[in-house]
């Protein structure tokens, strides 16, 4: 490792920070990881209460492909089902395909679906994307309220990329959904744009949550991880980050 290269400072020893640090090391780039907490993983940890119940903050699953790459596949359980559902009246629908059982949503979607592709200007906001892709009824009654509740921002202020969750298209996504039922595995659907999604890529749950991955990654980075070191400021010169301030 070339000591003349200034180290890259990574803020936070969560999954993203540790993966970045590991990749930088592989490329012989010096790296230092600063973590405000007393241990790695942060919110990726599972929490156990006084009664012995374990809780995860967020969805603690990854793909079998990532588990194999990191080397923790043997410590992961296959997720049999994962889906998003909404309640309308007394009925529950999967989102978004289950809602297509409603004729009013189907007709609205058919009238609008793909209309923006022939337009002079593609959608600029999430609100425009949902209305163009799902139709106004499904967008205004379901999709837009959901994305606003999830993000805490108005759909008119969010990028259209927020709506493009299914990069492979509706037909491909429907096939992956069907494959999930046939195989009994939660096939990854709409979560990766860098690698192709297929029936050979499904969700798995690391024993103990995503913190298992962080702990595994941290073992080879122990010498560059600084715990209880909250970053107070990122120093910038000429629009370029040049350092961090820790403990004054």
Q: Taking the C-alpha atoms of 115, 118, 124 and 130 in order, what is their torsion angle to the nearest 10 degrees? A: 20
Closest CA to 221 of 14, 28, 32: 32
Task: Report the pLDDT averaged over residues 88-108.
Answer: 83
> Cα 154 to chain center, whole Å?
20
- Percent of the chain past pLDDT 90, that is, above it, reads 43
pLDDT, tens digit, 9 for 90 and up, residues 15-45: 889 999 999 999 999 999 999 999 898 777 8
Asked if pLDDT for residue 1 goes beyond 70, the answer is no
Rounded CA-CA distance 35/229 in Å is 5
Tell if the pTM clears 0.75, that is, is over it: no
> Which of the following CATH numbers is that of domain 93-167: 3.30.300, 3.30.230, 1.10.3110, 3.40.50?
1.10.3110
Q: What share of the chain is helix, strand, coil (3-state, %, to 5)?
A: 40, 20, 40
**CB distance 162 to 126 below 8 Å:** yes
Task: Record the tokens describing residue 29, joined without a space.
Answer: 């780039």
Asked if pLDDT for residue 51 goes beyond 70, the answer is yes
Any idea which of 77-81, 110-114, 115-119, 168-172 has the lowest mean pLDDT? 115-119
Identical fold, 8-60+209-246 and 93-167: no
pLDDT, tens digit, 9 for 90 and up, residues 213-243: 888 999 999 999 999 999 999 999 999 999 9
Fold of 8-60+209-246: FAD/NAD(P)-binding domain (3.50.50)
Domain ranges of the chain: 8-60+209-246, 93-167
């Amino acid at each position: 490792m070339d000591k003349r290269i200034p180290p890259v400072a990574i803020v936070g020893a969560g999954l993203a920070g540790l993966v970045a640090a590991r990749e930088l090391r592989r490329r012989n780039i010096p790296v230092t990881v600063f973590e405000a907490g007393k241990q790695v993983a942060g919110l990726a940890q599972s929490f156990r209460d006084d009664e012995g119940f374990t809780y995860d903050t967020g969805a603690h699953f990854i793909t079998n492909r990532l588990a194999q790459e990191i080397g923790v596949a043997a410590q992961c359980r296959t997720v049999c089902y994962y889906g998003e559902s909404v309640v309308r009246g007394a009925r529950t629908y999967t989102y978004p395909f289950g809602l297509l059982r409603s004729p009013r949503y189907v007709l609205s979607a058919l009238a609008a679906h793909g209309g923006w592709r022939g337009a002079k200007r593609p959608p600029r906001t999430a609100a425009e994307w949902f209305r163009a892709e799902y139709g106004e009824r499904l967008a205004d009654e379901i999709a837009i309220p959901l994305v606003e509740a999830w993000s805490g921002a108005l759909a008119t202020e969010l990028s259209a990329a927020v709506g493009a969750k299914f990069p492979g298209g509706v037909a491909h996504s429907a096939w992956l959904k069907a494959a999930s039922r046939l195989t009994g595995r939660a096939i990854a659907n709409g979560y990766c744009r860098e690698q192709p999604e297929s029936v050979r890529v499904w969700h798995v749950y690391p024993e103990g949550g995503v913190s298992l991955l962080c702990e595994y990654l941290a073992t080879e980075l122990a010498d560059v991880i600084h715990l209880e070191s909250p970053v107070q400021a990122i120093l910038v010169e000429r629009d370029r980050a040049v350092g961090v301030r820790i403990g004054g």
